[in-house]
Chains A and B, each alone.
Chain A
Amino acid sequence: MKKKAAGKFQLDCSVNGARVRREIAASRTMLEFLREDLGLKGTKEGCGEGECGACLILLDGRAVNSCLMMAAQAHGREIVTIEGIKGRDGGLHPIQKTFMEEGAVQCGFCIPGIIVAAEALLRRKPDATLEDIKLELTGNLCRCTGYEKILSAVELSRDELKKKGKR
């Protein structure tokens, strides 16, 4: 039983490749843990109810809504946030570059979640079709762009990643 004093939880997990061991408030959500305890502010809180996808992170490689997850549930597991999505040289990831080149970002609030979703999809399905991309992004809301540029940026990222074997 992983429990310490009432109200506390001894968390041991991996965040962006580094091992994190700390005592946290048991009532912490994963989103609060990342933003407030670890200072990783790239993960956003939009709706707080799993509708908008701004808070997506990778949990053992799968995209999940960090607002609906308790931090304690990550015990023994691997978390990757938008800060951990990088190119091989440690700079921007090809998906991030393509989003910039395509002008797929306006206010930017939803983009970390969308890039996490796109990364999860392209890792799993490097040949994803436009239809696959649309379906993968059903849980991500953007109120600025109208989605067209986001969809074409993900398609271009897919081509770029395949062409150059940039993983």
Chain B
Amino acid sequence: MRPELLVRPASLADLWKALPALPRDRRYLAGGTDLMIAAGHGHAGDCWVDISGLKELKSFRETSSSIFIGSGLTIAELAEKPAVKKWLPALALCAPHYASPSLRNMATIGGNAANGSPCADGVCALLSEKAEIVLGLKGAKRKMPLHSFFLAPKRTALKKDELILGFEVPKWRHVSAYEKLGPRSYFGISKVTVCVSAEISGGLVKEAVIACASVAPVPLLARKAAEFLYGRRLDEGTVSEAAALAESEASPITDTRSEAGYRKAMVRVLASRALSKLAA
């Protein structure tokens, strides 16, 4: 059910001022592509606070050492930015596989995280790029590694009324590979996704981050596999051993989209494909 009450603050200051007078069971409405569907299936709050018009959440800032992505930017807006292509290759690779073109024009990167789904495409890409998430509540701001933001399926670290302001991603010289298995090549929710970002210097892995979606209660970092890669050359043996480690770290379930055993096996296949691409 969509609520009877919808408010549309003109600024963040306006938003914090308005909250105390609103019904307690309230939700933020950003791109709407998850919330509207939730509302079609049941109760989705007594009041929606539409943050889609807030310019403050659309900021995109580049410093010498990091990139800040406003939570209100849509996937399409991000995919078009030259700085994303240059510094966030995983996010750029993920974009064509993120829902459909029209949904990418609506869905925001903040909403992708706020929804708390273990299968979120944008989250998986940002995780591999070592993103931190920036949260705001009235005047207070806090920042945490993106992986600590996810507590359980559909549960995040967000406190009541707290808002995702954006993501801060360090600039590091990495290459990425994004491997997603869905029901079809494009526009499907992932059965399994493995996204690898790595800095390779002189043929050796200096640092690697392996993020996996849809294979654990939360978006997963395959840490053992990533650590194993440190200082190694991405030859066939290394790739296959790292892929096996990644598989051992996954704990998927069987649900409407796929089966646990298949998902687990596919982590190895996709990790091996991704690492082979980086080696090439």
Q: Do A and B come from one complex?
A: yes
Please report A residues at the B interface, Cβ cutoff 8 Å: 1-3, 6-7, 9, 25-27, 29, 48-50, 53, 56, 59, 62-65, 67-70, 72-73, 75-76, 117, 120-121, 135-136, 138-139
Min CB–CB distance A17 → chain B (angstroms): 21
The reply to whether B7 and A50 contact each other, CB–CB distance below 8 Å, is no
Judged by a CB distance under 8 angstroms, whether B4 is at the interface is yes
A136: contacting residue among B18, B29, B48, B101, CB under 8 A: B101
Judged by a CB distance under 8 angstroms, whether B82 is at the interface is no
CA distance A64 to B14 in the complex (A): 27
Judged by a CB distance under 8 angstroms, whether B233 is at the interface is no
The reply to whether B8 and A63 contact each other, CB–CB distance below 8 Å, is no
Knowing A6-B5, A26-B6, A73-B32, the reply to whether A139 touches B37 (Cβ < 8 A) is no
Task: Supply 8 A–B pairs (Cβ within 8 Å), ascending by A.
Answer: A7-B4, A29-B36, A50-B102, A53-B100, A53-B102, A63-B105, A65-B102, A69-B36
Interface-central residue, A7, A29, A56, A73, by most chain B CB under 10 Å: A73
The reply to whether B5 and A138 contact each other, CB–CB distance below 8 Å, is no
Q: A9-B8, A68-B33, A72-B6 are in contact. List 7 more A-B contacts (CB 8 A).
A: A26-B3, A27-B2, A50-B36, A50-B103, A65-B33, A135-B101, A135-B186
On chain B, the residues within 8 Å of A120 by CB distance are 101
Inter-chain contact total with CB atoms closer than 8 Å? 103
Min CB–CB distance A133 → chain B (angstroms): 11
On chain A, the residues within 8 Å of B106 by CB distance are 64-65, 68-69
Min CB–CB distance B275 → chain A (angstroms): 26
B100: contacting residue among A1, A27, A76, A138, CB under 8 A: A138
On chain B, the residues within 8 Å of A1 by CB distance are 7-10, 14, 18
On chain B, the residues within 8 Å of A138 by CB distance are 100-101, 186-187
CA distance A2 to B11 in the complex (A): 11
The reply to whether B53 and A75 contact each other, CB–CB distance below 8 Å, is yes
Count of B interface residues, CB-CB < 8 Å: 32
**Which residue of A is nearest B18, CB measured?**
A1
The reply to whether B4 and A62 contact each other, CB–CB distance below 8 Å, is no
On chain A, the residues within 8 Å of B52 by CB distance are 73
On chain B, the residues within 8 Å of A73 by CB distance are 8, 29, 32, 50, 52-53
CA distance A56 to B102 in the complex (A): 8
CA distance A53 to B187 in the complex (A): 12
CA distance A152 to B158 in the complex (A): 48
CA distance A72 to B10 in the complex (A): 13
Please give me the 4 A-B residue pairs with the lowest Cβ-Cβ distance, nearest first. Answer: A139-B100, A26-B6, A62-B105, A68-B36
CA distance A50 to B104 in the complex (A): 11
The reply to whether A50 and B50 contact each other, CB–CB distance below 8 Å, is no
A2: contacting residue among B3, B8, B76, CB under 8 A: B8
CA distance A1 to B15 in the complex (A): 8
The reply to whether B99 and A68 contact each other, CB–CB distance below 8 Å, is no
On chain B, the residues within 8 Å of A25 by CB distance are 4
Min CB–CB distance B201 → chain A (angstroms): 35
**Which residue of A is nearest B80, CB measured?**
A124
The reply to whether A3 and B8 contact each other, CB–CB distance below 8 Å, is yes
Interface-central residue, A29, A50, A56, A63, by most chain B CB under 10 Å: A50
The reply to whether A26 and B105 contact each other, CB–CB distance below 8 Å, is no
Min CB–CB distance B21 → chain A (angstroms): 10
CA distance A25 to B4 in the complex (A): 8
Judged by a CB distance under 8 angstroms, whether B136 is at the interface is no
Min CB–CB distance B161 → chain A (angstroms): 16
CA distance A25 to B6 in the complex (A): 9
